[in-house]
Amino acid sequence: MMLENSLPRIPFDIQSFQRIRTDSYLYVDKSDLIYDLAHSGIYVFLSRPRRFGKSLLCDTLRCYFEGRKELFEGLKIMELEKDWTHHPVIRLDMSGIDGTARGLASRLNAMFGNYEEQYGLEPLTENTEPVLSPNFGVRFERIIMAAYRQSQQQVVVLIDEYDRPLQQTWQTDEHERTRQIYRSVLEMLKPLGDYLRFVFLTGITKFTQLSLFSSINNLRNISFDGRYAALCGITDSELHTDLHPYIVQMAEARGWTVEETYFRLKANYDGYHFSEDNMVDIYNPFSLLNALSAQRIQNFWASSGATSLLPKFVPDLAERISDYCDNYRIDRNTLETSDITTSEYGLFLFQSGYLTIKDSTERSYTLGFPNAEVRDSLYNMVLPSVMMRDVSQIRNLQLDLADALEIGDVPVAFSLLKAQVADVPYSNIKYAERVMHIEERYRLIISIILRALGFRVEVERMQAGGRPDIVLYTPKFTYILELKTESNGGSFTAEQQILDRRYCAPFLTGAHQCKRSADAYPMVSPAPQVIALGIGMNDEGKGLIDYKRVETDVKDDTSLLG
The full DSSP string for 212-268 is: TTTT-TT-EE-TT-GGGTTSSSEEHHHHHHTTHHHHHHHHHHHT--HHHHHHHHHHH
Four-point Cα dihedral 293, 296, 300, 302, nearest 10: -160
Query: 61: how many CB neighbours lie within 10 A of its CB?
Result: 23
In sequence order, what are the beta bridge partners of 115?
Answer: none
Q: Are the C-beta atoms of 129 and 89 separated by less than 8 Å?
A: no
For 221: left if phi > 0, alpha if psi spans -120 to 50, otherwise beta; the answer is beta
- Say if residue 526's pLDDT is above 70: no
Which of 260-264, 435-439, 504-508 is predicted with the least confidence, judged by mean pLDDT?
Answer: 435-439
- Say if residue 209's pLDDT is above 90: no
528 secondary structure, DSSP code: P
304 secondary structure, DSSP code: T
Q: Are the C-beta atoms of 495 and 548 separated by less than 8 Å?
A: yes
- Say if residue 128's pLDDT is above 70: no
**pLDDT at position 412, please?**
97
CA distance 32 to 43: 19
Q: Are the C-beta atoms of 40 and 220 separated by less than 8 Å?
A: yes
- Say if residue 215's pLDDT is above 80: no
Q: Are the C-beta atoms of 147 and 87 separated by less than 8 Å?
A: no
Sign of the alpha-carbon torsion through 105, 107, 109, 115: negative
Most confident segment among 113-117, 425-429, 439-443: 113-117
- Say if residue 266's pLDDT is above 50: yes
| Residue 202, phi then psi, degrees to nearest 5 | -120, 155
Helices (H), 135-230: 136-151, 164-169, 175-186
| Residue 381 pLDDT class (50, 70, 90 cuts) | confident
Which of 31-35, 224-228, 484-488, 513-517 is predicted with the least confidence, judged by mean pLDDT?
Answer: 513-517
The full DSSP string for 416-472 is: HHHHHHTTHHHH-HHHHHSSS-HHHHHHHHHHHHHHTTT-EEEES--BTTB--SEEE
CA distance 344 to 330: 9
**pLDDT at position 348, please?**
87
Q: Are the C-beta atoms of 469 and 443 separated by less than 8 Å?
A: yes
CA distance 542 to 537: 8
- Say if residue 417's pLDDT is above 70: yes
**pLDDT at position 113, please?**
93
**pLDDT at position 125, please?**
60
Q: Which amino acid is at 443?
A: R
Q: Cβ neighbours of residue 450 under 8 Å, at least 6 residues apart?
A: 457, 470, 472
**pLDDT at position 514, please?**
41
- Tell me which of 218 and 341 has the higher pLDDT: 218
- Tell me which of 431 and 460 has the higher pLDDT: 460
**pLDDT at position 495, please?**
95
Q: What is the mean pLDDT of the chain?
A: 86
Q: Could you tell me the pTM of the whole model?
A: 0.86
- Say if residue 341's pLDDT is above 70: no
Percentage of the chain exceeding pLDDT 90: 56
Stretch 259-265: mean pLDDT = 95
Helix and strand totals (H; E) in the chain: 23, 15
**pLDDT at position 402, please?**
95
In the chain, where the domains are located: 4-228, 234-372, 388-561
**pLDDT at position 437, please?**
75
Stretch 270-294: mean pLDDT = 96
In sequence order, what are the beta bridge partners of 357?
Answer: 367
Angle between helices 372-387 and 391-407 (to 10 degrees): 120
- Say if residue 430's pLDDT is above 60: no
- Tell me which of 207 and 414 has the higher pLDDT: 414
* Nearest CA among 121, 3, 540, 52 for reference residue 285: 52
- Quote helix, strand, coil % in the chain, to nearest 5: 45, 15, 40
Which of 240-249, 291-300, 314-323 is predicted with the least confidence, judged by mean pLDDT?
Answer: 314-323
- Tell me which of 130 and 16 has the higher pLDDT: 16
Question: 366 by DSSP, 3-state: which?
Answer: strand
Fold held by 4-228: Rossmann fold (3.40.50)
CA distance 312 to 122: 41
| Residue 423 pLDDT class (50, 70, 90 cuts) | low
Half-sphere exposure at residue 287, Cβ-oriented, CA atoms within 13 angstroms: 31
Alpha carbon separation from 26 to 22, 125, 240 (Å, rounded): 10, 44, 14
**pLDDT at position 561, please?**
34
Stretch 350-378: mean pLDDT = 93
CA distance 276 to 283: 17
Q: Are the C-beta atoms of 515 and 371 separated by less than 8 Å?
A: no
Helix (H) or strand (E) holding 92: strand 89-93
* Nearest CA among 260, 277, 271 for reference residue 233: 271
Question: 111 by DSSP, 3-state: which?
Answer: helix
